[in-house]
Every structure is written in structure tokens, then in C-alpha cells.
Structure 1
Amino acid sequence: MPTTTRPLIIAHRGNSSVAPENTLPAFESAVLAGADMIEIDVQVCEDGIGIVIHDATVDRTTDGAGPVAALRSTEVRHLDAGSWFAPAYAGTALPVFADVVDLLLRHPDTALLLELKGDWPLEPTNRLLAEVDEAGVADRVLAQGFSVAMLRTLREAAPDLRRGLLISEFDESTLTLAADLGVVALNPPATLVIERPDVLTAIHDAGLEAHVWTPNTAELWAPLVEAGVDGIITDRPDRLVGWLSAR
């Protein structure tokens, strides 16, 4: 049934159309734009520290090269993660996860959609989750991932932490897997929900949330809001805020 309830506005890698993705300027911009949640990607460095970056290598979004897993966090922190986007952001650093926790403390109304990339070992997972617990922000975190192994590790490390499974496709086995993993959300691509309304119905009938990725235009937002998605993960949270406010 169509709904008039506003979905959560989730800033994909921050306000990544106006500032370099997965950096503090993008996150602060998302907060200022009115996003409800910030979506981030975290890779684990060679020393077990979580670094906020999407790719498995630093090549695309920094002036460095090589796999994140082969670099120490101190090395990664000295890379320039802003010049590729615009000269005004030259010298912008890749955040460590602790920087994001500090941001959540500065902005108590902002929540976090946390994707741990790859399959983390238990020890660095525990270290990252300890930062969440010590800051008292666990109730504002939804951890998600495509990796079943990663979600099992998260369940072992923090069984009470809300978790979501990212999916690209949906069939009868998807809900079985979701139940087995104990997730609270199944997060599909926006196009899947638009093309197959039965997917959203099935997710909601199972008592799960659906936060869709990554529509960036009103043409796509409109049918998603009408269908009743729980959240929209977008590169244009600023525009989505304005579009929803005008409805």
C-alpha cells in the first residue's frame, strides 16, 4: 500500500556530489543538508585500524597507490584524498573510523549506515565495535554488508547491533538467509524495487526494513516514496531533502 511517510535520507559516502566521498567534508555537508543518516565504507588496514574508504586500493580517491590491507593507518592518513575531486579539497585526509565516531558525538541527531568492506577478522571487528560502544552511539548504527561471512562476524562480535544485508537480487532464499543472519534490514537496489514491487512487499511482510541504493533523481525517488521504502541511500541528499520538503 502506498505511504506518505517520509523515508530516511541516507547520504551515500556523505554528500558525495559536493565534496570528496568518504571524507569529513562530505559527512559534515550531509549533516548540514539535513540527512538523517550517513553511509560510509570502512576497509581494514594492515595494522587493524578501520579506514573510511570504499575501494580495496587507495588508487582511485587518493594520490597514493596499493591495497589498503597492505598499508598501515599512519601511511594512509598522509594521503591526499581530496585533490582528485576538486582543488579546493587538496590535502583532505582519509578519516579513520574514530573520526566518524567523533562526528556522531558532535551531531547527536545523525545516524550511521556502516558498511565493513570485505571479510574482516574478528579482532579488528571487535576493535571497531568497541569504539562504537565506548562512545555510546550503538543505537544510532546500522551495520550492513554484502558478505554473509562479515555479517556472521558482526553477529558474533556484537549480537545486539542492528545489521542489514545488502542484496542485488531477490528470490525465495533471500528471506531465509536474512532470518538465518538475524538482520533487521534487506537493502536492495532502487531499480529492483521499482521493477518488482513484490520485493518490497515481501521484505516488509517479513518485518524487515528496506533502504534502497542509489537513486539520485526525482524520477526515481517518486515511485520509491510512493511504494513506502524505509530509506533512500543517495549521492544527492541535499536535493532529496529539498524535494521531499516540497512534496
Structure 2
Amino acid sequence: MSSPARLPGRRPLIIAHRGASQVCRENTLPAFERALEMGVDGVELDVHATRDGVLVVHHDPVLTIGHGDGVEAAPIAALSFEQLAIHRLQSGDRVPTLHEVFALVGTRAMLFVEVKAPHVEALVAALLSAYPDVRSAVHAFDHRIPVGVRALRPTTPIGLLSASYPLDVRAVLSGTDASALWQHAELIDEALIAAAHEAGVQLIAWTVNSAPHARQLAAWGVDGMCTDVPDEISTALTTAGATRGAANSSATLPPPVRP
């Protein structure tokens, strides 16, 4: 577990939850581009795989209702990529591939990849290796998934998602080599942040959309905030006096790595 705690005086990382999801359709290329224009430190997204092994960016395992293209409400895992490619979301946007998002973001921000689908660790590791200059990390609720990706690609930072208050942070992290704990924001207190730092990992809060809550979490020392409104949260923290480093160059962001 190699990720350092946030440096004193450095504001928490601002991570766009599914892109700029309040102004664009979530998990789409326009949402990610808009988030980058807002100057975020990182972009968070969700990943599934098609029947023929193409990694695509979509929150739910089943396609949302679109434009009558014949694949609405179909499980992504049951569709070929050719079938998925014709689908349009209600916004008119396509479901992007993970390759497209990596190519779009490049070195402009860090990518935090939440893997939703089981048994795709090899696909994820291969894609990360295809983009060695892109700063990226993998996290999931099923902790076996990021652990599996790291086993295949040991340079990949991994995080563990949690929606309950961990009574023993070290026990949760045991055997995972995780460098971050992603915790539901409403379940975070100062003691939990301290426990995470004592265990040698970062504490990332999700989802933080309230300026007062963001300022409180920052005062407690949280390392990152995943938010639907990154521009508002960034402004709130700047107004509160947290120090912003050079764009997308926070000390907590790892450098690109070679496979």
C-alpha cells in the first residue's frame, strides 16, 4: 500500500463522478470532455463488457431506454459490440468504449475505473497496459476484481469501494495491497480518515455534492472527493482556503507507469 496521505494544505482531489454528470449525460464522451474543461484532477467511470469482450462505459448492467434501436433494456453482457454500437441513449449519445475514454482523457487527468462486471480482469489489465502514459486506478465493490487486476498488472493502483462503516480498516484492506478506500460520504468521520491514513491508504469520499459537506471533509483531511458537481466543489474548497496545486499535478496522483 504505497499511496501517501494528502499533504497538509493541499486540497483534496476533485474527481468527476461519471464525468460532468449534472450538465451532460453521465458516462459519455461529452460528460468526460466537459469535466476536463472544468479542470478536474480525475474522472471516475463505470465499466462493463460486451459478449465479445469489448469494455464499455455504462453504469448499469442493462442498457437504459434509448431510441427504439432494438437493444433497449438488454443486458450489456448479452450483446455483441456491433449490436451495442447502434444504441443511442436518450440524450442521443453513444455508449463509449473504455478505449475511447482513455484516448480522450490521455494525460489531462487521472482515470478512476470502477469495474462493474465480473471476470474481466484480464481485459482491464490489457487495456491499462495499452495506455502506459495515462494515470489510472481500478476500484470495485467486489474487492476480488481490483485485486485480480493488480495480480496481472502490479503497477496498477487499486481501491476498495465500501458502502458501510468499516470497524477495522486494516482488516478490510488485509491481503489486497489497495492504496485507497472509497467510502460513502455520509459514513465518513474524522476518525475513519485518521484510521485510513494510519493504515497507509487514501480515503476518497463518494458522492459529495454539498459545499458545506465538502469543506467539512476537507478539514478532516479526506484525500479525494468524487462529485457530480466538480466545478462547484472546487470553488467551495478554493473559497475555504485549501491550497490548489498545479493543474492535475497533486502529489497524491501517481505518475504514469510502464507495464
State the TM-score bracket (shorter-chain normalisation): 0.7 to 0.9
Structure 2: gaps spanning 5 or more residues? 1-6, 241-259
Partner of 2:161 in structure 1? 166
Residue correspondence of structure 1 range 65-84 to structure 2 within 5 A: 65-81=73-89, 83=90
Q: How much identity, in percent, do the aligned residues show?
A: 31
Aligned residues of 1:146 and 1:165 also touching (Cα < 8 A): yes
Structure 1 residues 127-166: aligned runs within 5 Å: 127-137=123-133, 140-166=135-161
Map Cα deviations across residues 70-113 of structure 1 (whole Å, 9 max, x no partner).
111221121112x3xxxxx42x11100110110122xx231111
Is this contact kept in 1: 2:45–2:114, CA < 8 A?
yes
Q: By how many angstroms is 1:171 displaced?
A: 3.2
Q: Could you tell me whether the CA contact under 8 Å between 2:50 and 2:80 is conserved in 1?
A: yes
1:100 and 1:169 mapped to 2: Cα distance? 30
Tell me what 1:86 maps to: none
Cα–Cα, structure 1 residues 29 and 118, in superposed 2: closer, same or farther, change >3 Å? same
Give the conservation status (yes or no) of the 8 Å contact 1:13–1:21: yes
Separation (CA, whole Å) in 1 of partners of 2:208 and 2:20: 13
Which residue, 220, 233, 236 being the options, matches 2:229? Answer: 236
Aligned equivalents of 1:149 and 1:131: distance in 2? 18
* Contact persistence 2:18–2:228 (CA under 8 A): yes
Aligned pairs for 1:175-214 within 5 A: 175-193=170-188, 196-214=189-207
Contact 1:165 1:183 in 2 (8 A): yes
Cα distance in 1 for partners of 2:149, 2:237 equals: 34
Q: 1:177, CA displacement in angstroms?
A: 3.0
Counterpart of 1:112 in structure 2: which amino acid? L
Tell me the equivalent position of 2:108: 109
- CA distance in 1: counterparts of 2:40 and 2:62, whole angstroms: 28
Tell me the residue number matched to 1:6: 11
Q: Provide, for residues 155-198 of structure 1, a one-character-per-residue CA deviation record: whole Å limited to 9, x for no partner.
A: 222122100001112334442231311100011111111xx321
Alpha-carbon deviation of 1:61?
A: 7.0
Structure 2: how far apart are the matches of 1:206 and 1:174?
7
Aligned length: 231
SS of 2:174's equivalent in the other structure is helix
Contact 2:85–2:94 under 8 Å retained in 1: yes
- Tell me the TM-score normalised to structure 1 length: 0.87
Report the CA distance between 1:239 and its aligned residue: 1.2
CA distance in 2, matches of 1:231, 1:151: 19
Q: Is the 8 A contact 2:169 2:195 kept in 1?
A: no
For the 8 Å contact 1:213–1:232, the answer to whether it is kept is: yes
CA distance in 1, matches of 2:10, 2:217: 11
Over 4 Å off, 4+ runs: 60-63
Assess, with a 3 A threshold, how the Cα gap between structure 1 residues 146 and 230 changes in structure 2: closer, same or farther.
same
Cross-structure match for 1:53: 58
